[in-house]
Chains A and B, each alone.
Chain A
Amino acid sequence: AQTVTQSQPEMSVQEAETVTLSCTYDTSESNYYLFWYKQPPSRQMILVIRQEAYKQQNATENRFSVNFQKAAKSFSLKISDSQLGDTAMYFCAFMKGTSGSRLTFGEGTQLTVNP
């Protein structure tokens, strides 16, 4: 079974600064996907970024980028130029690249951006 671990229950950052959220996972699969989802106070789950395991290049979406270390099974999220609207719970998630796949989530990291 796959497991996802987020070791930072809470983090805070000043507006306009950079913050990195950590995630590690455990799997014996070679084909899989990794995700970061954001959950603001509204509770809507919003996809932030996605990484395919077969791609060596780290995914980037505007101010959000990942550091994917496949051998170390690490998948951290970097948020640059933090904005107040980035305040949310962030979940790291894993999905096998086969049929019948489902998302396995970490416990989440509550990020607070301070003005």
Chain B
Amino acid sequence: DGGITQSPKYLFRKEGQNVTLSCEQNLNHDAMYWYRQDPGQGLRLIYYSQIVNDFQKGDIAEGYSVSREKKESFPLTVTSAQKNPTAFYLCASRPDRATGNTIYFGEGSWLTVV
């Protein structure tokens, strides 16, 4: 099936650990995004990438890192520098501008610090 796959669905992190959230899409979309959602709040942009090997910081990039080595993959690493990482994380993707301007989302990943 075509779509955006995030894994794991639930992840627990100990204090001081880095963790990586996976995001894979088989839609052949050019752009990919990571958003963070805290309880009862809207989505805030962490990082986004328009093409392979290029990415830009969003509004809350501190304590996070990403890579875009392949078109279909955009993993997010939550580092120990992120002081309050417990949240719901959503990955999204978008076709190139010529074919569409709608952003589609994965099912999300829950990260909890224990």
Contacts and interface: CB of A to CB of B under 8 A. Distances in A.
Given A43-B88, A44-B108, A100-B56, A105 B43 contact: yes
Contacts, number: 51
A19 to B, nearest CB: 20
Given A45-B90, A108-B42, A99 B102 contact: no
A106 B40 CA distance: 12
A102 B90 contact: no
A87 B114 CA distance: 32
Contact-size category for A: 20 to 34
Given A43-B88, A102-B33, A107 B41 contact: yes
A99 B101 contact: no
A103 B107 contact: no
Contact of A107 (B42, B90, B105): B42
Interface of A: 33, 35, 37, 42-45, 47, 50, 91, 95, 97, 99-108
